[in-house]
Structure 1
Amino acid sequence: MNALKKFFASTALAVSLSAAMAGMVEAAQLRIAGGVGVLFAPIHVMKQAQLLEKHAKAAGQELTLDMVSFPSGSAVTDALLSGNVDIVAAGVSNALLLWSRTNGDVKAVAAVSGTKSVLISKDPDVKALQDFKDTSRISVTSLKVSNQAIYLQMALDKEFGDPTKFDPMMVQLGFADGVQSMMNPQGPTDAMFAGPPYYQQLLKHPNMHAVLTTLDVAGPTTNLLAFTTTAYHDANPEAIKVFLAALGEAQALINSDPEKAAELYLASTGEKFTPEELAAIFKEEGNVFQSMPLGVHQTAAFMAKIGLIKTKPESWRDFFFADLQSLDGAAAAN
């Protein structure tokens, strides 16, 4: 649990500051903490197409989007709780950890996206989980608490009844560093649990193969949530409505016109893909671009089971604000 203590220690000084935001007036700028990668595509499409500004104007508001990035998850946490960003787009596990740690003061506004991740090995003898050796080294972006780490623990629990079985094999590397390690014949890892577009990069190489995917473990699921503090949410109801409308349009565009969405995403990020390559990735099996959550409760239940969060929520509604809960599709969300 040392990793959890370190994660939470960085939030301790900032938690009390969130209460000061309760008196905020409606913001003229919406500051969203996010990153790059397919999961963040709806936020980049929203930014590049100025969808937030469009929906704000339609509602008689003036609101602009400022997308900011941070070097670490703890820095994002501090920024949210101290009021230096308004909404964070981050993994389901991160949102649940903060929801638990703040006793429900942090909740999700909406689902952003979900994509398949793939556990890849370059050891030809490793075809299934039981084939991994004690000497195997598997990279994930954060030990224990990243989306991929959670799914791997879920798979281990199903296969062996022991979610900690691979703990000695786990190595913490960011996606880009993980790919470099896998590409290096002398690199420290021989397996990686990778999200898109990184697993696509690795699977182009003949000595790499898939062992399992998150679809095998949990089916299509939401991986990325947009979440904020109760103080910000309650003080800025119009900004929340505009954000939800803009996010919904961005998600719909990815689903209906992935080529156009790819162009917008690449214009925002400057990443080195062609629009055709990225559009193909958007259309891959298992991707979910919708505001209603899919499969998040099973993640929450598992995190409670292994002690990562202290309370098991009864449903997704417990760790989401009420904005989505009366809309079409809410009854089917989970």
Structure 2
Amino acid sequence: MTETRFRTFLAGIALGTSLAFAAPASAEVSEVTLANQFSLSHLPLMIMKDQQFIEKQLAAQGLPDTKVNWISLAGSSAMIDGLLSGSLHVASTGTSGFAVLWDKTKGQVKSLGAQAYNVLNLVTRLPGVEKLEDLPLDTKIAVPAVGTSPQALALKIAALQKFGPDQINRFDQMTVTMAHPDAYAALQSSGSGVDSHFTAPPFEVWETARIDGAKVILSAEDVQGGEPATGTVLMATTKFRDANPKTFTAVHEALKDSVNFINENPEEAAKIYLAALNNTKDSVEETAKLIADPRMGYTVTPTNVVKLLGLFKDVGAIKTVPEDWKDLFFPELHELNGN
């Protein structure tokens, strides 16, 4: 769903939201709306939808009639609007977009759990370009969300490290917002104007294998300290959790169910992922290998999140870095061994 269509969707359910807020304090929402994205980093929500894990957990909480709505978006901008308005209850987003919103709301938005850590790679098809510094200033780099996505902030961190603090925004003018499937298609078209794509799995593998001259010129992991860090999380407002404790618990438990399903059934998870993208070209076997790639990991436990937010602060994306990862996550996760 595009951002424009999403805003129309929000308008369409605004009345239902206002009625929900007008209900007695003990009543929970009659509908819960979640937003997801397109890469393997967001696979847990695709599993959650396919396996109806939320519906099962809602029934266990005594809420069998609660309706679950699903929408797909390219990046964090519309998700932020939806969460703040109350029309969207739970969103799957990159750690960077979540960090921006957590900082902006002074902790009124927190995470229900991590989803995945992975490798984000910048792919270009431009001849003669072997490293980031070689990119011409008129190139176009597709990212999930300009200014807030993990890929966009990785470019800022790289600019800081390679060119100095006065060049943090060096690559901003090159970035354009595109969903990963659209960026993949654009990179295959000589007339699209997009010649580089800061990917998330599996798009780097597909692009370097199928597009002439396509190659990786930067890894986000390299500029973020060389260690894996949580790349995607689920986020919600504290207001939603406080007003809807049973619904919140159902979503949180469904996330754990989804992560366990992926780790125990990579081939079945691959089938669900390919079906969600209407992808009949790629094999289940190869996609399952990508899911099981040791560079990726599916876990609700936060990994190197505080360190990552420190880098976001260095490039001006956020003002505050928490002393403890638990400041970012709801209490349901505090017993985990995160960092």
The alignment's TM-score, normalised by the length of structure 1, stands at: 0.83
SS of structure 2 residue aligned to 1:223: strand
Q: Which of 272, 278, 286 is 1:264 aligned to?
A: 272
Alignment of 1:8-87 (within 5 A): 23=25, 25-62=27-64, 63=66, 65-70=68-73, 73-87=76-90
CA, structure 1 residues 202+104, in 2 after alignment: closer, same or farther (shift >3 Å)? same
- The superposition leaves residues 247-280 of structure 1 with CA deviations (integer Å, 9 ceiling, x where unpaired) of 1121112112100112233445533343223212
CA, structure 1 residues 168+46, in 2 after alignment: closer, same or farther (shift >3 Å)? closer
- The superposition leaves residues 193-252 of structure 1 with CA deviations (integer Å, 9 ceiling, x where unpaired) of 111232222101341111122232333222221111111111222222222222112111
What amino acid sits opposite 2:145 in the alignment?
Answer: S
What amino acid sits opposite 1:310 in the alignment?
Answer: K
SS of structure 1 residue aligned to 2:298: coil
The alignment covers a number of residue pairs equal to 314
CA distance in 2: counterparts of 1:173 and 1:34, whole angstroms: 14
Checking the alignment, whether the CA contact within 8 Å between 1:116 and 1:213 is kept in structure 2 is yes
Choose 315-324 or 137-146, whichever is displaced more: 137-146
Choose 73-82 or 284-293, whichever is displaced more: 73-82
Q: Which of 215, 223, 229 is 1:209 aligned to?
A: 215
What amino acid sits opposite 2:172 in the alignment?
Answer: D
Alignment of 1:105-124 (within 5 A): 105-124=108-127
Q: Which of 164, 186, 205 is 1:181 aligned to?
A: 186
Structure 2 unaligned spans of 5+: 1-13
Aligned twin of 2:244: 236
CA distance in 1: counterparts of 2:45 and 2:146, whole angstroms: 26
Checking the alignment, whether the CA contact within 8 Å between 2:160 and 2:315 is kept in structure 1 is no
What's the CA shift for 1:64? 5.1
Checking the alignment, whether the CA contact within 8 Å between 1:138 and 1:193 is kept in structure 2 is yes
Q: Which of 194, 197, 200 is 1:192 aligned to?
A: 197
Identity within the alignment, %: 29
CA distance in 1: counterparts of 2:26 and 2:132, whole angstroms: 51
The alignment's TM-score, normalised by the length of structure 2, stands at: 0.82
CA distance in 2: counterparts of 1:110 and 1:262, whole angstroms: 22
- The superposition leaves residues 147-166 of structure 1 with CA deviations (integer Å, 9 ceiling, x where unpaired) of 11111222232333343333
Checking the alignment, whether the CA contact within 8 Å between 1:138 and 1:192 is kept in structure 2 is yes
Checking the alignment, whether the CA contact within 8 Å between 1:42 and 1:247 is kept in structure 2 is yes
SS of structure 2 residue aligned to 1:93: helix
SS of structure 2 residue aligned to 1:134: coil
Alignment of 1:215-294 (within 5 A): 215-218=221-224, 219-272=227-280, 273-294=282-303
Q: Which of 298, 304, 311 is 2:320 aligned to?
A: 311
Over aligned residue pairs, what C-alpha RMSD do you find?
Answer: 2.8
Q: Which of 122, 131, 134 is 1:131 aligned to?
A: 134
Checking the alignment, whether the CA contact within 8 Å between 1:24 and 1:232 is kept in structure 2 is no
What amino acid sits opposite 2:115 in the alignment?
Answer: V
